[in-house]
Amino acid sequence: MSVRLNGSTVFTEHPVTVSAFSAIGGKKEGEGPYGDCFDYIDKDGFFGQKSFERAESAMQGLALQNALEKRGIEPSELPLLIGGDLLNQCVGTSFSAKDFGIPFLGIYGACSTMAEGLMIASLLVDGGGFDKAAAVTSSHFCTAERQYRFPLEYGGQRTPTSQWTATAAGALIVEKGDKPPFIRAVTVGKIEDMGIKDANNMGAAMAPAAYSTISNFMKDTGLMPRDFDYIVTGDLGNAGSRILCELFGRDGIDIEKNHADCGRMIFNQTAQDVHSGGSGCGCAASMLCGHFLREIRDGRLKDILFAATGALLSPTSSQQGMTIPGISHLVWISANHGEV
C-alpha cells in the first residue's frame, strides 16, 4: 500500500466521487445571493411541521430524499448514513434518519459536521468496506436561537460579531466512480483553543482551528493556496475570516485572493442584516452541496479545499466561564483524481 497517511492528512487510494448532492433552504436563504442554488426553498421555514425542531428534521429529510432521487436509488440501497446537527443530542438528525431505515452513524462537529461526515464517508468507501455512504446535516435559525440564545419573541439585540444561523440542509452521496467531483484527501482537525470566551464571536474562536488544519494540510502535501481555485472555510463570517487571513499573513502566505467563506456567501450582508455573516451546520453544507460541488462537476472549478469549522461550546460551558474550543475538518475536492 502507498503512503496514505502523512501528518494528519489521509489520501484516498481509489477514485472516490460525490455522485449526488442536494441543498434545501429556508425563506431568507432563498433570498440570498445563492438562493438559486438550492434545490428547494420553503415558503416560511416550517416545512409543513408544527414545531421548529420537526421542521429541521423535515428539511434534513428532504435533502437526503432529494440526493437519493438524483442518484436514482432507494434508501434500502444505501448501506450507510452519517449525520449530525446542532440540536441537543442531535435530535434533528435522529428524527429525520429514523424514517429512512439506513444504518446510521451519528457525528457531532458543530458547524464542521458536513466536512466531518464527508471525510468519514469518503474514507469508509475508499477502504472501509462500504460501497456507498451518505452524509447529511442541517441547522435552523429558530431551533438554534431557542437552544443557544433567547426565545425569538424576546427580540434580543445582536452584537456586530454575531452570526445568523442558516436555515438550511445539505446531503451528499459518496461512492467509487470515475466522474468528478473527486475526494483527493482529508485532513482531520485538532481542537484549537486560543481562549476566546465570547459566544457571540464564534468566528474568532474558530479561525485558529481553520488556520491550524489548512496549515497542516499544506505541510502534509506540499501544496499552497495558489494550487486551489478556492480555500473555502465553513462559517468564520467577517470577523473570523479577517483573523484567518491575518494568521496566514504572519507566515507570509496570502490566502485572501482565493479565500471564500460560506458564512460570508450565504446572505447578502448589506441587505439581509446578518452582522458578521451566516453560521450553522447547514450553512457550509448548503454552500457545498448547492454551489461548490456543482461548479466542480460542471468543470467551472478544478480544485477546492473545503475546511468547515465548528465551535465546540455549549450554553452550559459558556455559563461556567469556559473557553470556546474550535475545530476544522478539511476535504480536498477536485475535478481530477490523478496520482497521489
Q: φ, ψ for residue 212 (rounded to 5)?
A: -60, -50
Work out the angle at residue 111's Cα, subtended by the Cα atoms of residues 109 and 112, and round it to the nearest 5 degrees. 55
Contact (CB, 8 A) for 61 and 94:
no
**Counting every residue, how long is the chain?**
340
The stretch near a second copy (CB under 8 A) out of 51-59, 150-158, 247-255, 295-303 is: 51-59
257 binds a second copy (CB under 8 A): no
Return the residues of window 68-107 that contact a second copy according to CB under 8 A: 79-80, 84, 86-91, 94-95, 97-98, 101-107
Binding a second copy by CB under 8 A: which of 191, 249, 254, 271? 191
What mask, x for binding a second copy by CB under 8 A, covers residues 196 to 225? ------------------------------
Question: Rounded CA gap, 173 and 66, in Å?
Answer: 11
What mask, x for binding a second copy by CB under 8 A, covers residues 260 to 299? ----------------------------------------
Q: φ, ψ for residue 26 (rounded to 5)?
A: -90, -175
179 binds a second copy (CB under 8 A): no
Q: φ, ψ for residue 180 (rounded to 5)?
A: -70, 165
Size of the site for a second copy (CB under 8 A): 62
Instruction: For the CB of residue 131, give the shortest distance to a second copy in the complex, in Å.
Output: 7
Nearer to a second copy, 102 or 293 (CB): 102
Distance of CA 230 to the CA centre of its chain: 15
Return the residues of window 12-31 that contact a second copy according to CB under 8 A: 13
Report which of 226, 138, 234 is spatially closest to residue 189, judged by C-alpha positions.
234
Question: Rounded CA gap, 46 and 27, in Å?
Answer: 10
Q: Which amino acid is at 271?
A: A
Question: Rounded CA gap, 61 and 95, in Å?
Answer: 9
Instruction: For the CB of residue 294, give the shortest distance to a second copy in the complex, in Å.
Output: 27
Give the footprint of a second copy on this chain (CB under 8 A).
4-5, 8, 10-11, 13, 51, 53-54, 79-80, 84, 86-91, 94-95, 97-98, 101-110, 116, 119-120, 123-124, 126-131, 147, 187-193, 312-317, 320, 322, 325, 327, 329
